[in-house]
Structures are given as structure tokens and as C-alpha cells.
Amino acid sequence: MQHTYGIQDFPVPALGLGAGRIGDPALDDAQVGTLLGQALDMGVTLIDTAPSYGLSEERIGRHLAHRRADYILSTKVGYGIPGHEDWSYGSVAAGIDAALRRLRTDYLDIVHLHSCPLETLQRGNVIRALHEARAQGKLRVAAYSGENAALQWAITSGHFGGIECSVNLFDQRCLEHDLPMAQARGIGVIAKRPLANFPWRFAKRPIGDYCEEYWLRWQAMGIKANDVDWPELALRFAAHAPAVSCAIVGTTSTEHLLQDKLHVDYGPLPPERFESLRRAFRNHDDNWIGLI
Ligand SMILES: NC(=O)c1ccc[n+]([C@@H]2O[C@H](COP(=O)([O-])OP(=O)(O)OC[C@H]3O[C@@H](n4cnc5c(N)ncnc54)[C@H](OP(=O)(O)O)[C@@H]3O)[C@@H](O)[C@H]2O)c1
């Protein structure tokens, strides 16, 4: 199933692969290569990575570069370049070149500034570096990844053709105003953490886990999956929420990715189910801001 990414003539799959987890050096490299190839074979053809995801970029380059025409590549920049201060003009310009090298390609489809704060965006130099690289043909879409006030600024600034933010059952504030605004401006939207990091794994509060806050929101909302399982409910909610172009699920398992793809292919939830989940969030929203 395909959606459109903001601007016309940019079709994207409704489900993409969030390649954070496959960067783990403890994973078997050949198995990661198999997962990446199978993702493309099953139509999961948008891959989202970042330099902070361990071996992720390097593995994508090594295992997939020979199929470069088969996938849309999204990555992030802004930090971690020796000799350049993080969030300087140079860190973005050199970061794009480093990503091109690691990913073994001569163009990137979408490049996000990776969660920099509002003040950094407003300084302008990192945005200038992104646009110059775009003019040089190194990337197609200049994008911002982040949440809340910085995300709102990015959407209205006119500088970005794409955004990435958290969209899931327990992170819905952006659905209220931000994503409709992005859609009206022709901005593509990647929904990250679409399974809310799978809090249903935990019977008790998972103190210290990445999904702890989502687990608490789940308990507070009191929602049940009822007739479907949690991944189906969550993915049909996030991937087909209005204005979402592509939901990127994080997994190290081909079996899970296949299930996730099937769930997304079932299409949107019935409107009354979608609305009841929106109401459950609104009714319990207790300063539930977007989580990076
Ligand atoms: N820009 C940013 O700042 C930022 C921040 C966070 C995330 N991201 C992006 O978003 C992507 C996705 O986010 P995420 O990985 O944090 O969270 P997520 O996609 O909401 O959840 C991932 C979790 O769900 C499990 N899972 C996936 N499919 C499943 C299935 N069918 N059944 C059971 N469990 C399943 C995975 O475990 P298994 O491995 O066992 O399947 C993993 O524990 C990241 O990889 C990254 O690309 C970006």
C-alpha cells in the first residue's frame, strides 16, 4: 500500500523500516543483511536511519547499495563529525557527505536535522547547509525530525519539505494541529515509534525502559485491543492517521516485519474506532507532549 510524501510525484510505502534496532553491533551481520533484503522484497521500501544508530547506516550501505533504485533512503544529520562542533554549518555539510559515503550512494532522498532544539533551527546555519546540499543534488528533501515547539516552527518556517515525529496510540498531540498544518503545506510526514515501542510486552511498569512513559499513558487511557491484536490496532492507527505518509516500524525480525506489513495493508481502522482512540487520548491527556 502506497501513500504520498507531501509533494506530488513522491509515492512512499505506507510502512517503512525504522533501522535503529538493526544498528546493534551484537546482531549477526548476515542476518541483518537478510532482513534488509527481505524488507525490500515485501515492499517495505522506505528505510529510515541515522548516524547515531550504531552500525545502521554502514550496514544499509553494505547490504543494499546494489539495489539503490529499489528504496527511499531517509537519514539524519547534525552531530558526531570530528573537527566540527555539533549543530554547526560544518557538522551538517560534512555530515551529509559522511552519510553518502557510509550509505554508499550519491544521493539521499530525505535528510532530517536530528532533534535539534528550536534555538538551533532559528540560528539558520544548519538549515542553510541542508539547502546548499540539496541544490548540489546530494539530497531530495530537506527535513526536520523532532517534537512540540521545534516541530511547529519547522512546519511553518517554509524551510522543510518533510518532518518526522512520534505518532502512536499514546502520542497523539501532533494529530490535532501540527500534521494537518503540514499536510496543508505539502510537507511529507514520517511517523516514528508507531508501535509506541511495544509497551504490551510488560505486565508491570517497566521502570527505566524507553517505553515507560507510553506504558503509563496506556494504563491511564484504559484502552483495550478487543477483537484485534495490539500491533494491528497500533499500526493501522498510526500508519493511516490523516497526513501520515509513512510509518517506520523498528524491528530486528523478518517475521514481525511481515506481520506489520499485513496489518498496515488491512487499511485504516473503521472511523468510529479511530475516533474513540482519539477521544481516549484527549480525555486523559495530562501534559502528554510528543516524545523524542
Ligand atoms: N528521529 C528520532 O529521534 C527517532 C526516535 C525514535 C525512533 N526513531 C525511528 O523510528 C523507528 C521506529 O521506532 P522504535 O523502533 O523506537 O519503536 P516502534 O517501531 O514503535 O517499536 C519497536 C518495538 O516493537 C517490536 N515489534 C515490531 N513489530 C512487532 C510485532 N509484529 N510483534 C511484536 N513486537 C513487534 C520490536 O521488537 P522486535 O525487534 O522483536 O520486532 C521493538 O521492540 C526507529 O527505528 C527509528 O528509525 C527516530
State yes or no: pLDDT of 283 exceeds 90.
yes
Q: How far apart are CA 248 and CA 7, in angstroms?
A: 19
Using CB distances shorter than 6 Å, the residues near ligand 1 are: 18-21, 48, 114-115, 145, 164, 192-198, 231, 248-253, 256, 259-260, 292
Taking CA 212 as the corner, what is the angle to CA 189 and CA 60, rounded to the nearest 5 degrees?
A: 45
Per-residue cell: 131: 539547502
Whether residue 241 contacts residue 178, with contact meaning beta carbons closer than 8 Å, is answered with no
pLDDT for the residue 142: 98
The residue contributing the CA closest to ligand 1 atom 37 is: 251
Among the residues of the chain, which ranges form H helices?
Answer: 29-41, 56-64, 89-102, 118-123, 125-135, 148-157, 173-176, 178-184, 212-221, 230-239, 254-265, 271-284
User: Which residues lie closer than 8 Å to 227 by C-beta, 6 or more apart?
Assistant: none
- pLDDT for position 262: 98
Residue nearest to atom 16 of ligand 1 (CA): 193
266 pLDDT band (50/70/90 cuts)? Answer: very high
- Domain 2-284 in CATH 3.20.20.100? The answer is yes
Give tens-digit pLDDT for 231-248: 999 999 999 999 999 999
85-144 pLDDT tens trace: 999 999 999 999 999 999 999 999 999 999 999 999 999 999 999 999 999 999 999 999
Whether 9 has a pLDDT exceeding 90, the answer reads: no
Q: Of all residues in the chain, what percent are helix, strand and coil, respectively (each to 5)?
A: 45, 15, 40
Of 98, 35, 43, the C-alpha closest to 70 is 43
C-alpha angle 187/192/197, rounded to 5°? 165
- Does the CA dihedral 55-59-65-68 come out positive or negative? negative
- Of ligand 1's listed atoms, the one at least distance from the Cα of 259 is 31
- Ligand 1: which of 197, 202, 292 to mutate, most ligand atoms within 8 Å of CB? 197
How far apart (Å, rounded) are the C-alpha atoms in residues 290 and 177?
A: 13
User: What ranges do the domains of the chain cover?
Assistant: 2-284
pTM score, whole prediction: 0.98
**Interval between CA 219 and ligand 1 midpoint (Å):** 20
- Distance CA(141)–CA(162), nearest Å, equals 7
The residue-averaged pLDDT of 150-172 equals 98
Q: What is the pLDDT of residues 25-39, one digit of tens each?
A: 999 999 999 999 999
pLDDT tens profile 41-93: 999 999 999 999 999 999 999 999 999 999 999 999 999 999 999 999 999 99
Can you give the pLDDT at residue 2? Answer: 92
From the CA of 248, how far away is ligand 1's center (Å)? 8
Q: Is the dihedral of CA 90, 91, 92, 95 positive or negative?
A: positive
The C-alpha angle 114, 119, 122, rounded to 5 degrees, equals: 90
CA of 132 to the centre of ligand 1 (A): 32
Which amino acid is residue 3, in one-letter code? H
DSSP 241: S
